[in-house]
Amino acid sequence: MTPAHVTVAGLTIEAQTDDGSTLVIVDDVSFSIEKGQVLALIGESGSGKTTIALSLLGHVRPGARIVGGSVRLGDQEITALDMAQLRSLRGNRIAYVAQSAAAAFNPSRTVMDQVIEPALAHRIMQRPAAQAKAVALFGALGLPNPGKIGERYPHQLSGGQLQRLMAAMALITGPELIIFDEPTTALDVTTQIGVLQAFRSAVRDLGTTAVYVSHDLAVVAQMADHIVVLNKGRIREAGTTDQILHAPRDDYTRTLMAAARPVPTTGPAESDTARPLLQVDGLTAGYGKVDARGVPAIPVLHDLSFSLQRGEILGVIGESGSGKSTLARAIAGLLPPARGAVRLDGRTLPPGLAGRCRDQFRQIQIVFQNADVALNPAHSVGEILRRPLAFYHGLRGTAADARVAELLDRTRLPGTLADRRCTDLSGGQKQRVNLARALAAGPDLILCDEVTSALDTVVGAAILDLLAELRQELGIAMMFISHDISTVRAICDDVMVLYAGHAVDQGPRSAYAAPPSHPYTDMLIASVPEMRTDWLPDGAGALALPPIGGIDDSAALCSFLPRCPSRITGRCDRAFPPHRQLLSGNAILCHLEEHELRGSRQHAEAR
Amino acid sequence: MTPVSALRWTRRLPLSGRVGLFFVLFWALAALVGPLLAPYPIGAFVDQNVFSGASGQFLLGTDYLGRDVLSRVLLAARYTIGLGTGAALLACLCGTGLALTAVVSPAWLDELLSRFMDTLISIPSKILALVMVAAFGSSLWLLLLIAGITYIPGNYRIARALAVNLNQLDFVAVARARGEGRFYIAVREILPNMIHPLLTDLGLRFVFIVLLLSALSFLGLGVQPPAADLGSLVRENISGIAEGAPALIVPALAIATLTVGVNLLIDALPRGGRRG
């Protein structure tokens, strides 16, 4: 057996808390990686995975310190190095790829300048040589137009492209060890797949040893040879990827696996054909001035129509920028629609906030994604919950206190939380308070805007269970907005797929289980990583699309045309696609006939 | 607040905060009861010598006209602290109030208020004071008003910038979607989250106003002789600098400890408004 390339032995890291006590954040962690292998550190937030990854760079965050153990790269002890020695190591022999590439690039310099900076800083290469190597890396990472992309500025590039450029920056010095810290967590699934492919082929081709930090087992399964499962700073289980995926030994690993694949729940069976609770007709909304035809200057949503029965959950899915959140804001009245009507219980709602009566406000409650900014940090949990009680129901004093206790109990929060400020709570607890506030109003419809996206898998799964239970017991209808099609398919009765503000695919959940569906839906489904190691196809992530003649920008065409793998010259580039009702029950916006779409799903899956 | 809880609150402050609290309380006390303790009348010429040092008769010596420095500092502290606090409160209450109004109001009112503040900020404070004093004659109320108005736009700018950012946050959107009125959103959702920076601003305005008042006194527009504020004590005794006269050093130290104390205390206040 060859000696390990990276060895971590008995690593223990402590941090000082605000009240002066010490907290062990990494507890006696040992693992080793052989040269050219990829090791994944997996765990929830607070598991110490990033702290361990940073310690490989010889870095600990302010307030924390390494109290024991060793970190060795080759035969060098990293914990024993001083600042100058570490500086010559970082970005040279060890490189780091951070989670948010958008925040890691300097917006005022071209990407080429930034990508070759490590090579120049360590005096490894002259500028022309470094630029040539960068261009080669851009090509290897599947970036479009590798020769020219370096001249652009970060704001001109997409998140997925920046993440690849960040990898190019890490690889430019030919490091022995590269650390990926949740590099695809902030990306859409459709973007993630290409970035993962690019990372994997680059790391394999160069024979670099890599550490991949993530909370997502399915993503890790594509990348890693070995997996270390962490919880609260301790190693729960370590083994090869196949062993962890197929024969997990530890209970915690099994919990993680279970949370990653939510179990489908069913709603109330009653098929209530009476008046729908929410009916949306021809909704068009956006920002800027509205023209004579009722189209805003920057349209976000185009002509959406759907309805929602009492006690039903409608899933709205799409990637960032598809208009999902705008839809919730338009229904809540925060963004008055330019055209179209929203009917609640048969009555047409006034478009904006002005003119809605207090009871209409009460019926629709909105729950935002990020509980950190959705809860006022100046108020205690009790104050936050008491306000809607007083505002809608006139509850005060002991009656309100009793109801607050009941709400906390219903959302599985300890009653003692009422006096605490929400800044003291964990992410999952905050999201529960966020839900409890919506429940306090006694609503008929809750608009859930990505409520689980910012949470760890296990915590998010618990929130999903809570939502299903609330719908079951209280009969509250929900609009569940998400970018994760597996979550949506698990809890929703109906699903609407948004692409660039168009509802490209609409139908009952069952219709999504089998083809055919809209090519974009196929792409979304095919992009969700599966828990097997051979899921991710090889290649640099750039997939070839069927060629299409010059697209006429002036005409209104299918919005998915530029990315569609099933597009057909002569049909798709002529006119706006028609609404098409499929046999399985979904309505799609596509030129293709049903039998042609069947082929497209197989095409997407074969990739 | 009971004495016990006040004591506990004091104990939780960091050392710098306790030092600040000590100076603030010391000067507040001096302003309240000091003039009663003053050994001599404020304008009385009690010494044949000028700039004499500390002695049993004159604890802090005498000034450039042979008046008792202790008595004058005690009285000047009352003017400085009274005017400074009053004008700083006036500036911050008006500035913050208008800023909150601007942020939760329709765009045209925000525009109108902001442009009005721009106009106000472009008037030099000393010229404004000159015109006002010429028109109405010097009085304490007029000084308070001038100092207050001069610093409204600055506070307005800061408060508006803070409130605009807070107004974008989701908890405000939730409150709006709940159907809350503008007043509730401004006072209960936005204001509590900007208290801490606003208190810092209040401390800063207080220091500015103390400086403005001494500048006005220098022009003869401020507190009228024989009364004086701390700034004018420094200015009138400036010729004593060569001999290091207490008449110059004591009021200078008074201004320093007062302003530094106020800022130390405010910086040490617990974060998050009403926490604790």
**Whole-number pLDDT of residue B275:** 38
Determine contact, residues A496/A317, Cβ cutoff 8 Å: yes
Domain limits of chain B? 12-39+65-268
Contacts of A333 in chain B (CB under 8 A): 177
Map residue B240 onto helix, strand or coil.
helix
Mean pLDDT value of segment B239-264:
86
For residue A237, what are the β-bridge partners? A229
Length of chain A counted residue by residue: 607
Structure tokens that stand for A315 in this block: 């899933």
Q: Which of A357, A376, A383 to mutate to test the interface with B (most CBs of B within 10 A)?
A: A376
Map residue A588 onto helix, strand or coil.
strand
Confidence at B1, pLDDT banded by 50, 70, 90: low
Q: Is pLDDT above 90 for B112?
A: yes
**Whole-number pLDDT of residue B223:** 81
Mean pLDDT value of segment B122-131:
85
**Whole-number pLDDT of residue A549:** 60
- CATH T-level topology, domain A278-513: Rossmann fold (3.40.50)
Contacts of A375 in chain B (CB under 8 A): 171
Q: The pTM is what?
A: 0.81
Q: Decide if A351 touches B, using CB distance below 8 A.
A: no
Q: Decide if A333 touches B, using CB distance below 8 A.
A: yes
The answer to whether the Cβ–Cβ distance between B176 and A334 falls below 8 Å is: yes
Of B120, B107, B41, B80, residue with least CA distance to B251:
B80
**Whole-number pLDDT of residue B271:** 61
Determine contact, residues B167/B190, Cβ cutoff 8 Å: yes
Instruction: Report the helix count and the strand count for chain B, using DSSP H and E.
Output: 11, 0
**Whole-number pLDDT of residue A539:** 61
Structure tokens that stand for A531 in this block: 């828990």
Amino acid at B242: A
**Whole-number pLDDT of residue B276:** 32
**Whole-number pLDDT of residue A272:** 55
Of A552, A573, A553, A576, residue with least CA distance to A502:
A576
Partner residue opposite A361 with nearest CB, options B170, B171, B179: B179
Alpha helices of A281-351 — where are they, by DSSP H?
324-332
**Whole-number pLDDT of residue B272:** 46
Mean pLDDT value of segment B4-25:
85
The interface predicted TM-score (ipTM) is: 0.79
Q: Is pLDDT above 80 for B220?
A: no
Structure tokens that stand for A413 in this block: 């929060």
A360: closest CA of chain B, how far (Å): 9
Amino acid at A333: G
Higher local confidence (pLDDT), B12 or B276: B12
Contacts of B171 in chain A (CB under 8 A): 373-376
The one-character DSSP state at B168 is T
Length of chain B counted residue by residue: 276
Q: What number of C-beta contacts closer than 8 Å exist between A and B?
A: 55
Mean pLDDT value of segment B151-160:
94
Q: Rounded to whole angstroms, how far apart are CA atoms A281 and A562? A: 28
Contacts of B185 in chain A (CB under 8 A): none
Domain limits of chain A? 34-48+84-258, 278-513, 514-607
**Whole-number pLDDT of residue B16:** 87
pLDDT along chain A (607 residues), means of 10: 79 81 86 90 84 88 85 86 87 86 86 90 89 89 84 84 88 89 82 84 86 87 89 89 87 84 63 77 87 81 90 89 89 89 89 88 91 88 93 90 92 88 84 92 92 82 88 90 85 90 88 81 84 72 60 69 79 81 83 73 49
**Whole-number pLDDT of residue A408:** 92
Q: Which of A373, A392, A439, A479 to mutate to test the interface with B (most CBs of B within 10 A)?
A: A373
**Whole-number pLDDT of residue A436:** 93
Q: Rounded to whole angstroms, how far apart are CA atoms A216 and A44? A: 9
**Whole-number pLDDT of residue A392:** 92
Q: Please state the CATH superfamily assignment of the domain spanning residues A34-48+84-258 in this structure.
A: P-loop containing nucleotide triphosphate hydrolases (3.40.50.300)
Confidence at B274, pLDDT banded by 50, 70, 90: very low
Please tell me if the domain spanning A34-48+84-258 has the same topology as the one spanning A278-513. yes
User: DSSP of B96-152, one letter per residue?
Assistant: HHHHHHHHHS-HHHHHHHHHHHHHHHTS-HHHHHHHHHHHH---HHHHHHHHHHHHH
Q: What angle do CA A376, A380, A382 make, to 5 degrees?
A: 115
Q: In what order do the strands lie in the sheet with A347-348?
A: A296-308, A278-290, A339-344, A347-348
- pLDDT tens per residue across span B34-92: 878 878 887 777 777 777 777 777 777 788 787 888 888 888 888 888 999 999 999 99
Q: Is pLDDT above 90 for B102?
A: yes
**Whole-number pLDDT of residue A434:** 92
- CATH T-level topology, domain B12-39+65-268: MetI-like fold (1.10.3720)
End-to-end CA distance of chain A: 36
B158 contact partners, CB below 8 Å, separation of at least 6: B95, B197, B198, B201
